[in-house]
Amino acid sequence: MIAAYRNVIMIVVALLLAAELTWAATLAAAAQPPRERAPISIAVIGDQNTAGFNNREVWPTLLAARTGWSVSNYALHEAGFAADGTGGQAYVYQVERAQAAHPRIILFATGTADAALNESEAIMIGAMDALTKAIRGGQQVAVVGPIWYATPIPDSIQRLNDAVQKVAEVAGAPFLNGIDPPMLSKKLMHPDLSAPNDAGQSVIADRIAAWLQSQVLR
């Protein structure tokens, strides 16, 4: 009975997502006059994997250095689509700050803090709000799923990945799967497995650069 109820909730959320994101995309398209493609400028939304934790450099900085793109990093520790850190840190708030710089692309790097939530609905609603805000602002959106380092994948991380991927699919946003296979290994994490080490940051930068070039900037 509980499983059936959850399935109904998920269907309702998916339908709402589709309607909201379609409407947002239509508004954004109508508001944008025809123009030449803007230079590549990317605003990165994320958590401590992106903000850095005892790192000399983080992957957005390396991404900019290796590609020549303009990359701004708005990530905050313990943030997520639903997780809000110490307040005002959730991704929808990061989008608001990023939009002040008028980037061409807003790149969402899913935060693992959301995995602590027992249900997917709050994550999906938070993802819908954040992606919709970016689309309404005229930005192209792309989404990186949670980045993991070992198998088997914990159920909480798998659930988070599936929820965010569903929203990305509804939004028509490119999605990079960071758990199948895991993007990192334990050697690419700090000893306490809290966040990627410098070598891990470098691997993330290269993987995301290749994906952006092949799947997003086409």
Please compute Rg for the chain using Cα positions. 17
Q: Check: CB of residue 146 under 8 Å from CB of residue 179.
A: yes
Look at the chain and report how many structural domains it folds into. Answer: 1
Question: Could you check whether the bond before residue 152 is cis, i.e. omega within 30 degrees of 0?
Answer: yes
Cα gap 170→17, rounded to integer Å: 7
pTM value is 0.85
Q: Please tell me the number of Cα atoms within 13 Å of 151 on its side-chain side.
A: 6
For residue 118, count other CB atoms closer than 10 A to its CB. 8
Q: Check: CB of residue 124 under 8 Å from CB of residue 166.
A: yes
Q: Check: CB of residue 111 under 8 Å from CB of residue 46.
A: yes
What is the domain range of residue 114?
2-31+39-216
Beta-strand (E) ranges in the chain? 41-45, 70-73, 105-109, 140-144, 175-176
**pLDDT (tens digit, 9 = 90+) per residue, 85-120?**
999 999 999 999 999 999 999 999 999 999 999 889
**pLDDT (tens digit, 9 = 90+) per residue, 193-214?**
999 999 999 999 999 999 999 9
pLDDT per residue, tens digit, the chain (218 aa), is 544 444 444 555 555 555 555 555 454 444 444 445 668 999 999 999 999 999 999 999 999 999 999 999 999 999 999 999 999 999 999 999 999 999 999 999 999 999 999 889 999 999 999 999 999 999 999 999 999 999 999 999 999 999 999 999 999 999 999 999 999 999 999 999 999 999 999 999 999 999 999 999 97
Q: Check: CB of residue 193 under 8 Å from CB of residue 149.
A: yes
CATH number at residue 193: 3.40.50.1110
- DSSP letters, 117-162, are -S-SHHHHHHHHHHHHHHHHTT-EEEEE-----SSSPPHHHHHHHH
Question: Cβ-count burial of 61 within 10 angstroms (0-12 exposed, 13-18 middle, 19+ buried)?
Answer: middle
Sheet holding 175-176, edge to edge: 70-73, 41-45, 105-109, 140-144, 175-176
